């Protein structure tokens, strides 16, 4: 009898241990981290290993299944090392440990965190290599490892993370070649600066322009291209006042609910959706537009002729550039019914042809936590409409968005089959042409593309972007 009781007790004890360990494996992983860190401000004192789960702990966030999704311990004066156990937090999306004094290596087990969206370890004293396993993080969008003491090469595997939008490995001791393919085609030299890295060879030099010693007929031919009577340079040559263009960009201005992301990607707007705040340098934009030649649809710069191409559209914004032509529906018979159908609500019962940005913002910023797939698609459509009207195919003369593109969003699986990139580029070209008239002031079109194209293709501009530009370029 006594033996039976002791067996029972033992079983209960064992079961209890198993349950506790299973119930709190994530808590144990976090405690392993805590035990490896020095925490002079005692921020982690409420990380209590006996709690049923870690969801109430300081700067830990969980999802509805009580699984950890965020660790927010940036700027927390922590020292010590990271632990392999972090790899057990299988639902982790944000690992924010920037601006601490964390040393040692980045555990290769971080590569097991396949739901990770953001890995921010910048401004620490980490050493060792960047683990190649990070290439497994197929949802990663932000990877910032700058200002550490990392050595070795940049793993090629990182180029295969298609979602990667922001990369910063500057200010380390990395060596070897900077990859240029895959997701790395997007990144600027600034992401890699201050290492021992080899920069990729520059694009082949442009075909030689007629030299200054060339015949005057060459020059006459060129000036006939630019100096048409209605073009701005003539105003400049007559010493008229220099104009700076205005744009009326309307960014969405709030952080995107995570649940919308997969649908935005499905529809082809995943990358465009990440543009939510920016500074447009109107002086740069004006200087470029001054050089636009209507006849050839190119910028005539002192050194060469160039233009934004469809390739740039995919490179910068990843919008689809082939497929069906985007043709808006010009007259919508029952706009309210269309809105109820696709957006779940309508600004009016009467006839209308456009939506206000303010209405979209007020109605779609917050998504109820209980929203089902059908309901989630409504703010996705609103978001795309906003992106189209506010950033991508901006109409300079209006503060509203035409309803005409909304029908193309009814089936989000189909939306990607339209060539949004070509439509956008066509509008941008036509805006540049309109702007060559000296009296035009308000420019539309996707100015953010013009900006990022200029900074990407003429990377020397990036380094002087905080200085004022010299005008007018034509007088040089």
Binding stretches for ligand NAG (CB under 6 A): 58-59, 72, 74, 79, 87, 101, 103, 108-109, 111-112, 123, 133, 147, 156, 159-160, 171, 179, 181-182, 194
Shortest Å, Cβ 140 to ligand NAG: 14
Task: Please check whether residue 63 is in contact with residue 39, taking contact to mean a CB–CB distance below 8 angstroms.
Answer: no
Residue with smaller CB distance to ligand NAG, 77 or 351: 77
Give me the least distance between CB of 129 and ligand NAG, in Å please. Answer: 13
Q: Which two tokens stand for residue 264?
A: 């935005």
Q: Shortest approach of ligand NAG to residue 92 CB, angstroms?
A: 13
Minimum distance from residue 52 beta carbon to ligand NAG (Å): 20
Q: What is the DSSP code string of 141-192? A: -EEE--SS--EEPPPGGGGG-TT--EEE--SSEEEEEPP-SGGGGG--GGGG
Check residue 390 and report its DSSP letter: I
Q: Nearer Cβ to ligand NAG, position 114 or 237?
A: 114
List all residues 6 or more positions away from 102 whose beta carbon is below 8 Å from its beta carbon: 37, 78, 79, 80, 81, 82, 121, 124, 125, 126
Nearer to ligand NAG, 131 or 379 (CB): 131
Q: Which residues, 6 or more positions from 124, have their beta carbon under 8 angstroms from its beta carbon?
A: 97, 98, 99, 100, 101, 102, 103, 147, 148
Question: Is-cis flag, bond preceding 198, omega within 30?
Answer: no
CB 7 to ligand NAG: min, Å: 33
Nearest-angstrom CA–CA distance, 362 and 251: 14
Q: Which is nearer to ligand NAG, 159 or 363 (CB)?
A: 159
To ligand NAG, the closest distance from the beta carbon of 30 in angstroms equals 14
* Tokens of residue 438, six digits: 């000296």
d(Cα 450, Cα 433) in Å, to the nearest integer? Answer: 14
Residue placing its CB nearer to ligand NAG in the complex, 71 or 448? 71
Min separation Cβ 172 and ligand NAG, Å: 9
Distance of CA 457 to the CA centre of its chain: 18
Using N-to-C axis directions, what is the helix angle for 282-290 and 447-457, rounded to 10°? 80
Smallest CA-to-CA distance from 128 within 113, 108, 98 is with: 108
Nearer to ligand NAG, 104 or 328 (CB): 104
| Position with the least CB separation from ligand NAG | 182
| Shorter beta-carbon distance to ligand NAG: residue 131 or 389 | 131
Tell me the closest approach of the beta carbon of residue 179 to ligand NAG, in angstroms.
6
Q: Which residues pair with 102 in a beta bridge?
A: 80
Tokens, residue 64: 């509805």
> What's the closest the beta carbon of residue 117 comes to ligand NAG, in angstroms?
15
Nearer to ligand NAG, 130 or 226 (CB): 130
At closest approach, how far in Å is the CB of 315 from ligand NAG? 14
CA 298 → CA 135, 202, 222, 469, distances in Å? Answer: 39, 22, 12, 21
Please state, in angstroms and rounded to a whole number, the distance separating the CA atoms of residues 378 and 257: 13
Which CB atom, from 72 or from 283, has the smaller least distance to ligand NAG?
Answer: 72
Cβ of residue 70: shortest distance to ligand NAG, in angstroms? 8
- Residue 56: CB partners within 8 Å, gap ≥ 6? 46
Shortest distance, CB of residue 222 to ligand NAG, whole angstroms? Answer: 40
Q: Which is nearer to ligand NAG, 375 or 464 (CB)?
A: 464
Query: DSSP assignment of 20-78, as one string?
Result: HHHHTHHHHHHHHHHHHEE-TT-TTTT--TTSS-GGGSTTEEE-TTS-EEEEE-TTS--
- Which of 101, 234 has the CB closer to ligand NAG? 101
CA–CA gap between residue 454 and residue 10 (Å, rounded): 71
Q: Which is nearer to ligand NAG, 81 or 361 (CB)?
A: 81
């Amino acid at each position: 009898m006594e033996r039976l009781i002791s067996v029972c007790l033992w079983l209960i004890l064992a079961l209890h241990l198993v349950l506790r360990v299973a119930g709190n494996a994530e808590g144990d992983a976090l405690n392993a981290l805590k035990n490896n860190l020095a925490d002079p401000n005692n921020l982690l004192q409420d990380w209590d290993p006996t709690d049923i789960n870690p969801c109430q702990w300081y700067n830990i966030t969980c999802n509805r299944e009580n699984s950890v999704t965020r660790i927010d311990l940036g700027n927390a004066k922590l020292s010590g090392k990271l632990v392999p156990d972090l790899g057990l937090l299988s639902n982790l999306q944000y690992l924010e440990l920037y601006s601490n004094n964390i040393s040692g290596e980045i555990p290769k087990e971080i590569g097991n965190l396949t739901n990770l969206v953001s890995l921010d370890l910048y401004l620490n004293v980490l050493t060792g290599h960047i683990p190649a396993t990070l290439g497994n993080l197929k949802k990663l969008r932000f990877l910032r490892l700058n200002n550490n003491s990392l050595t070795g090469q940049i793993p090629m595997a990182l180029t295969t993370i298609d979602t990667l939008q922001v990369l910063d490995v500057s200010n380390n001791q990395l060596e070897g070649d900077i990859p240029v393919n895959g997701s790395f085609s997007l990144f600027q030299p600034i992401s890699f600066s201050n290492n021992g890295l080899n920069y990729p060879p520059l694009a082949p030099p442009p075909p030689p322009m007629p030299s200054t010693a060339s015949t005057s007929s060459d020059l006459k031919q060129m000036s006939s291209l630019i100096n048409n009577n209605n073009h701005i340079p003539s105003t400049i040559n007559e010493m008229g006042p220099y104009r700076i263009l205005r744009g009326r960009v309307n960014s969405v201005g709030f952080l995107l609910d995570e649940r919308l992301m997969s649908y935005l990607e499905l529809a082809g707007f995943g990358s465009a959706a990440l543009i939510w705040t920016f500074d447009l340098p109107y002086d740069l934009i004006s200087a470029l537009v001054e050089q636009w030649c209507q006849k050839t649809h190119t910028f005539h710069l002192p050194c060469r002729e160039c233009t934004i191409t469809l390739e740039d559209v995919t490179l910068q914004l990843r919008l689809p550039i082939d497929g069906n032509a985007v043709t808006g529906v010009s007259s919508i018979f029952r706009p309210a019914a269309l809105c109820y159908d696709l957006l779940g609500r309508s600004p009016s019962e009467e006839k209308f042809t456009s939506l206000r940005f303010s209405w979209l913002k007020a109605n779609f910023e917050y998504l109820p936590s209980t929203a089902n797939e059908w309901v989630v698609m409504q703010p996705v459509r609103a978001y795309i409409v906003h992106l189209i009207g506010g950033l991508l195919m901006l109409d300079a003369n209006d503060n509203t968005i035409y309803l005409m593109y909304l029908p193309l969003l009814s089936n989000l699986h189909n939306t990607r089959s339209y060539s949004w990139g070509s439509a956008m580029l066509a509008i941008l070209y036509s805006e540049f042409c309109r702007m060559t008239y000296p009296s035009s002031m308000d420019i539309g079109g996707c100015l953010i593309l013009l900006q990022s194209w200029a900074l990407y293709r003429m990377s020397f501009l990036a380094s002087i972007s905080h200085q004022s530009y010299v005008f007018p370029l034509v007088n040089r």
